[in-house]
Amino acid sequence: MAFISAGYNPDKPMEGRISDIGPRKFDEFYPPVIARNKGKWLYHEIVEPGILMHKAESGEEVYTVRCGGARLVSVTHVREICDIADKFSGGFVRFTTRNNIEFMVESKDEALKLKAELNSRKFAAGSHKFPVGGTGAGITNIVHTQGWVHCHTPATDASGTVKVVMDEVFAEFGAHNMPAPLRISMACCLNMCGAVHCSDIAILGYHRKPPLIDHEYLDNLCEIPLAVAACPTGAIRPSKTEINGKTVNSVAIKNERCMFCGNCYTMCPSLPLSDKEGDGLVIMAGGKISNRISNPKFSKVVVAFIPNEPPRWPTLAKVVRQIVDAYAKDARKYERLGDWAERIGWERFFEKCDLEFTEHLIDDFRDPAYYTWRQTTNFKW
């Protein structure tokens, strides 16, 4: 494994340096039919689950075959995507915001052949590589974060929980049998680099134990004022502690004021929160992004805690199934999950989803909490 240089000279870092050029320009990568008809699309149709047809003013059609996949993909897997694109879609491919893959072809025949091809490809252990679906009133791919694969603050794994949930709703991924699109998102801690707070169903990793304090090292690794300032509830204060007969600067934490956000750990590595029993999942529901019919809205916490149960998180899968089934059975056509819950009332939502309502689900964080309490006689038995 000899080091091979691409041309960079560490003694003269500015020599031949190119910077601030930004990404490649998007239109270099348009399939020809897209380049020809950009801005002149008339309408679209979902031919069958996973296949979209867009019709242009010119009369031309483009058929898009959409398939799901893990967000975490290897170069070998991406090369296989390239092979498929070379064979079927003129050497072009696109990825969606929700980690789906799209191949565009110019006839329905080609699209159907491609769909069959994609659905036939499997990993050695048997799972699909490129399941076709993710369109219309179904459940599309889950957007998610890094989890235990590659992050220092998670309260759960992301790839594993997503795999388990997508296995559970696999039939719905390849079908149009929901009342409206149902979007599931996953973030492995409150930082939410996946921003799941406006999803029909959100899976969120959460800690439940206050930080441990690594007194011996804290003052060497952290700026104490920053750690103190990081706490949104003012639970952290500077303090001095005795370690092996020596007085060291450190912090003290009022545990009862901790809401387990982990912001202190972001600022100070000597305040870790991770814990096997403490960590787990919060389920939120009823959020949306689209302005269709009703305004965008935040997801609400509907299950305060599900323990981490790797590798298959059975309780998580079961809870998602309960919500999906209750919604699919009861909601009206075009009604998003949150609109359904608001129409029937949240008291009915918990009943129909067979979820227990506990005191944890009543907001007690700052001013907005008050606006979520019931201030009317309009409630149901």
Partner 1 sequence: MAKHKTPLLDQLESGPWPSFVSDIKQEAEHRHANPDGIEYQIPVDVCDDLLGLLEMSYEDGETHWKHGGIVGVFGYGGGVIGRYCDQPQKFPGVAHFHTVRVAQPAGKYYSTEYLRKLMDLWDFRGSGLTNMHGATGDLVWLGTTTPQLEEIFWTLTHDLNTDLGGSGSNLRTPASCLGQSRCEYACYDTQSLNYAMTLEYQDELHRPAFPYKFKFKFDGCPNGCVASIARSDFSVIGTWKDDIKIDHDAVMGYVKGEFAPNAGAHSGRDWGKFDIEKEVVALCPTGCMSWDGSKLSIDNKECYRCMHCINTMPRALHIGDERGASIFVGAKAPILDGAQMGSLLVPFVPVEDPYDEVKEVVENLWDWWMEEGKNRERIGETIRRMSFQKMLEVTGIKADPRHVQEPRTNPYIFWKEEDVTGGWERDINEFRKRHQR
Residues 178-197 that bind partner 1 (CB under 8 A): 181, 187, 190-197
**Angle (nearest 5°) at CA 169 between 165 and 172:** 155
- How far is it, in rounded angstroms, from Cα 91 to Cα 129? 19
Q: Is 167 in the site for partner 1 (CB under 8 A)?
A: yes
CB of 198 to partner 1, least distance (A): 4
- How far is it, in rounded angstroms, from Cα 161 to Cα 155? 12
CB of 71 to partner 1, least distance (A): 5
Q: Is 212 in the site for partner 1 (CB under 8 A)?
A: no
Measured over the CA atoms of residue 100, residue 103, residue 106 and residue 111, the dihedral's sign is negative
Name the segment binding partner 1 (CB under 8 A); options: 110-118, 129-137, 239-247, 319-327: 129-137
| Binder among 65, 132, 143, 253 for partner 1 (CB under 8 A) | 143
Residue placing its CB nearer to partner 1 in the complex, 175 or 236:
175
DSSP character string of 230-262: H-TT--EEEEEEEETTEEEEEEEE-GGG-----
Q: Is 362 in the site for partner 1 (CB under 8 A)?
A: no
CB of 366 to partner 1, least distance (A): 7
Per-residue CA distances from 302 to 161, 341, 347 (Å): 18, 11, 11
Name the segment binding partner 1 (CB under 8 A); options: 20-28, 340-348, 351-359, 371-379: 20-28
Residue placing its CB nearer to partner 1 in the complex, 43 or 381:
43
Cα 359 to chain centroid distance, Å, stands at: 27
Q: Is 59 in the site for partner 1 (CB under 8 A)?
A: no
Number of residues that bind partner 1 (CB under 8 A): 145
Residue placing its CB nearer to partner 1 in the complex, 15 or 242:
15
| Binder among 237, 240, 257, 292 for partner 1 (CB under 8 A) | 292
| Binder among 49, 50, 211, 286 for partner 1 (CB under 8 A) | 49
Q: For partner 1, what does the binding mask look like between residues 248 and 287, x meaning CB under 8 A?
A: -------------x-x-----x----xxxx-x-------x
- How far is it, in rounded angstroms, from Cα 338 to Cα 137? 15
Q: Is 208 in the site for partner 1 (CB under 8 A)?
A: no
CB of 375 to partner 1, least distance (A): 13
**Contacts to partner 1 from residues 226-255, by CB under 8 A:** 229-230, 232
Q: Cβ contacts of residue 356 below 8 Å, gap of 6+?
A: 350
- How far is it, in rounded angstroms, from Cα 11 to Cα 201? 52
Name the segment binding partner 1 (CB under 8 A); options: 96-104, 110-118, 319-327, 341-349: 96-104
- How far is it, in rounded angstroms, from Cα 172 to Cα 133? 9
Q: Cβ contacts of residue 327 below 8 Å, gap of 6+?
A: 178, 179, 182, 337, 340, 353
β-pair type (101-105, 61-67): antiparallel
